[in-house]
Amino acid sequence: MRPLEQLNDLSSHQKSPIINRKFPMHPYRTRTCGELRATDISRSARLAGWVYRKRDHGQLLFIDLRDHYGLTQVVIQPDREFFNLSKRLHLESVITVTGAVVARSPETVNPNLATGEIELVAEAIQVLSPCGSLPFPVDAMEDGPEDLRLRYRYLDLRRERLHGNIVQRARVIAFIRERMLSLGFQEFQTPILTSSSPEGARDYLVPSRVHPGKFYALPQAPQQFKQLLMVAGFDRYFQIAPCFRDEDARADRSPGEFYQLDLEMAFATQDDVFVVVEDVLASVFRTFSRKPFNAPPFPRIPYAEAMLKYGTDKPDLRIPIEMRDLTALFKESGFNAFRSVIEQGGIVRAIPVGKIAAQPRSFFDKLTDYAKGLGAKGLAYLVWTDAGVKGPIVKFLTPAQLEAIAMQCEVHASDVVFFVCDRPREVNRITADLRVKLAQDLKLIDEGIFRFCWVTDFPMFERDEETGQIIFSHNPFSMPQGGMQALEEQDPLAIRAYQYDIICNGVELSSGAIRNHDPEIMYRAFALAGYDQQAVDERFGGLINAFRLGAPPHGGIAPGIDRILMLLANEANIREVIAFPMNQKAQDLMMGAPAGVTEKQLRELHLKLALPPKPEDRRLTTDTRRQPGE
């Protein structure tokens, strides 16, 4: 939630621009609605804006006139010929008002308004654009239904919160550009129409008219281009880059397209990248948020440690819960339910939670149900009470084992330790969720702070659960730690990459890596993942060739702009920081995208449709799109 003073302070958006005030008077406005102060009293002024609110006192009418810059109260006296017309003005009509800036009497000054010391007494009013009936109120604090908001996005964007978020976005991006330039980076543009990259997310494809049967792809990220710019010797690249991925949406993942602060550095180590990102993020968060955050350098957590302590590679460090592995202890215990799972490769993860021994039985029962809902077989726990250790599994453990658990989990009086036992992958998924759920239910998360961290040393490879094959676990272009020697001598699953994520409050802001710029190491890495040299050349020939012609070691990262803005604006949904977002099903309800095309267009592109045998989807046809005033 934003503080109350911001909700009413429309003047915070921007300083008023300079408007030509010379004779003859500007036809629309001489000043903005956020500008007039006591020092302007007895001047004349012309304002233009939207009718935000009206207060009709019969023989006196107040209009709150709103523009991008603020709100000014306009007074309309009953003897003016436009008095009755003004009374009938619909909210959100656009008008120009000319009049005198007048001091408010002391008792009528509005201290909540930047322009609250004055008001404009109207001498002339011109209606520039009348407003029909609104699909939802513009002055309401509550949001309307999301599909209506998206359909009438331009109305929603007039509303204080969203308007402020988009202004904030513009400011943050401008700030980032300045900061990057001052750090010696240069901004580049890279192609939007490019080729499909076979790894990664689904591509958005654009058919070629000139080359029948061939397609461009929109870039999922300018990954190869920025690396090629390094090969070209530009040294430090950045771009506020649009990225296109045809994957399903989440609350923090915009479908279709999103923006990254994409950056890449030549002759850079992992530490060099971290220093830059820490500088940029810290300066952005210091400038655009009042919340405190941990100062750089941000803690670095190896991937393996993050999975163990938090069950996830994007830990929310605001949560004061760190998990422990107790597999060895339970392997020797009399608790057969766990022991048999361990013998089949399972592990035991303990979740110690402080000072909750007094929670009622229902708390534990509900949590157990929740865990089962996640796919857990159950939820074991031990409670350290004044009268000793209690809990459903206490009878399976010896006093020495209980003591060992207390030691390893650093248990104090009234603490509780939960246990989950399953295959490693399941344990991570379930305990990561439980840790967050516990923190939410017990209100352990401090909403007033940001906690940044790096997660480093990601594994280079992993085993595909279905096929059993070795696959790249993240970016195939990352440099394996230990280089060629590691690839040749180590167990592939033990090789780590110079691959890192930056996390804030459990939100993954970005992935990055030091790149593999050596063709021989690249071929070797791909070979381990089952691609022969020919396959690599076919897919990444351009990049590999470049690396044969003098490539500097380089690395980079690409923090998500939209997610940074979500954190700064304290918004739970990414659509609230994007001017024209698509809905969850990747539709633009305002413009009606995606849309059908004509037969002629298809013919020119050498395309024929082979539609699935489903009833026609009528959601986006024009006849269901309502227009204002209906």
Partner RNA sequence: GGGGGAGUAGCGCAAUUGGCUAGAGCAUCGGCUUGUCACGCCGAAGGUUGCGGGUUCGAGCCCCGUCUCUCCCGCCA
* Contact code string over 211-240 relative to RNA, x by CB under 7 A: ---------xx-x-----------------
Nearer to RNA, 32 or 511 (CB): 511
Nearer to RNA, 250 or 463 (CB): 250
Phi-psi region of 178 (alpha: psi -120 to 50; beta: other; left: phi over 0): alpha
Of 1, 4, 42, 107, the residue at the interface with RNA (CB under 7 A) is 107
Tokens 């993240």 sit on residue: 474
- # residues near RNA by CB under 7 A: 78
Q: Considering only 135-143, 173-181, 360-368, 546-554, which stretch makes contact with RNA by CB under 7 A?
A: 135-143
Nearer to RNA, 40 or 64 (CB): 64
In eight-state DSSP terms, residue 229 is H
| Cα–Cα distance, 388 to 145 (Å, whole number) | 53
* Contact code string over 411-450 relative to RNA, x by CB under 7 A: ------------------x---------------------
| Cα–Cα distance, 496 to 480 (Å, whole number) | 6
Please report the DSSP string for 573-599 in residue order: SGGGG-SS---TTS-BTTTTBS----H
Nearer to RNA, 391 or 476 (CB): 476
Q: Considering only 108-116, 181-189, 329-337, 390-398, which stretch makes contact with RNA by CB under 7 A?
A: 108-116
Joined tokens for residue 23: 């004779």
Work out how close the CB of 499 gets to RNA at its nearest, in angstroms, rounded to a whole number: 9
Work out how close the CB of 495 gets to RNA at its nearest, in angstroms, rounded to a whole number: 15
Q: Considering only 24-32, 248-256, 514-522, 534-542, which stretch makes contact with RNA by CB under 7 A?
A: 248-256
Nearer to RNA, 383 or 497 (CB): 497
Helix, strand or coil for residue 609? coil
Please say whether the beta carbons of 65 and 74 come within 8 A.
yes
Nearer to RNA, 412 or 585 (CB): 585
Task: Please list every residue from 577 through 616 that binds RNA, using CB under 7 A.
Answer: 583-585, 587, 589, 615
Of 619, 621, 625, 628, the residue at the interface with RNA (CB under 7 A) is 619
Tokens 């440690």 sit on residue: 305
Q: Where are the alpha helices (DSSP H) in 509-605?
A: 519-528, 533-547, 561-569, 599-604
Joined tokens for residue 67: 């523009």
Task: Please list every residue from 25 through 54 that binds RNA, using CB under 7 A.
Answer: 53-54
Residue 443: alpha-carbon gap to chain centroid: 23
Residue of 501, 452, 177, 502 whose CA lies nearest to 291: 452
Work out how close the CB of 233 gets to RNA at its nearest, in angstroms, rounded to a whole number: 22
| Cα–Cα distance, 628 to 630 (Å, whole number) | 6
- Residue 252 sits in the site that holds RNA (CB under 7 A): yes
- Residue 480 sits in the site that holds RNA (CB under 7 A): no
Helix, strand or coil for residue 484? helix
Residue of 242, 241, 244 whose CA lies nearest to 204: 244
Task: Please list every residue from 363 through 402 that binds RNA, using CB under 7 A.
Answer: none
Of 197, 208, 283, 481, the residue at the interface with RNA (CB under 7 A) is 197
In eight-state DSSP terms, residue 312 is S
Q: Considering only 20-28, 192-200, 384-392, 393-401, which stretch makes contact with RNA by CB under 7 A?
A: 192-200
Please say whether the beta carbons of 317 and 298 come within 8 A.
no
Work out how close the CB of 22 gets to RNA at its nearest, in angstroms, rounded to a whole number: 30
Q: Considering only 106-114, 160-168, 316-324, 442-450, which stretch makes contact with RNA by CB under 7 A?
A: 106-114
Nearer to RNA, 87 or 177 (CB): 87
Q: Considering only 128-136, 280-288, 483-491, 596-604, which stretch makes contact with RNA by CB under 7 A?
A: 128-136
Residue of 454, 105, 467, 464 whose CA lies nearest to 313: 454
Task: Please list every residue from 338 through 357 that binds RNA, using CB under 7 A.
Answer: none
Residue 278: alpha-carbon gap to chain centroid: 18
Residue of 241, 195, 230 whose CA lies nearest to 214: 195
Of 26, 43, 80, 104, the residue at the interface with RNA (CB under 7 A) is 104
| Cα–Cα distance, 355 to 441 (Å, whole number) | 14
Q: Considering only 173-181, 193-201, 266-274, 347-355, which stretch makes contact with RNA by CB under 7 A?
A: 193-201
Nearer to RNA, 149 or 524 (CB): 149
CA Rg value for the chain: 30
* Contact code string over 501-520 relative to RNA, x by CB under 7 A: ----------x---------
How far from 254 is each of 181, 220, 245, 284, 328, CA to CA, in Å? 28, 13, 9, 22, 43
In eight-state DSSP terms, residue 235 is -
Work out how close the CB of 471 gets to RNA at its nearest, in angstroms, rounded to a whole number: 8
Residue of 80, 76, 54, 65 whose CA lies nearest to 31: 65
- Residue 59 sits in the site that holds RNA (CB under 7 A): yes
Nearer to RNA, 384 or 477 (CB): 477
Whether a cis peptide bond, with omega within 30° of 0, leads into 191 is: no
Work out how close the CB of 304 gets to RNA at its nearest, in angstroms, rounded to a whole number: 19
Work out how close the CB of 249 gets to RNA at its nearest, in angstroms, rounded to a whole number: 6
Work out how close the CB of 624 gets to RNA at its nearest, in angstroms, rounded to a whole number: 9
Helix, strand or coil for residue 65? strand
Work out how close the CB of 619 gets to RNA at its nearest, in angstroms, rounded to a whole number: 4
Angle ∠(182,188,194) on CA atoms, nearest 5: 155
Nearer to RNA, 78 or 212 (CB): 78
Of 19, 193, 201, 535, the residue at the interface with RNA (CB under 7 A) is 201
- Residue 75 sits in the site that holds RNA (CB under 7 A): yes
Nearer to RNA, 96 or 115 (CB): 115
Q: How is the chain split among helix, strand and coil, in percent rounded to 5?
A: 30, 25, 45
Task: Please list every residue from 544 through 583 that binds RNA, using CB under 7 A.
Answer: 573, 575, 583
Return the biggest CA–CA distance within the chain: 94
Work out how close the CB of 194 gets to RNA at its nearest, in angstroms, rounded to a whole number: 12
Cβ atoms < 10 Å from Cβ of 428: 22
Pairing of strands 416-422, 452-456: unpaired
* Contact code string over 82-101 relative to RNA, x by CB under 7 A: -----xx-xx----------
- Residue 265 sits in the site that holds RNA (CB under 7 A): no
Nearer to RNA, 132 or 292 (CB): 132
Please say whether the beta carbons of 302 and 456 come within 8 A.
yes
| Cα–Cα distance, 148 to 388 (Å, whole number) | 58
Task: Please list every residue from 448 through 477 that binds RNA, using CB under 7 A.
Answer: 472, 474-477
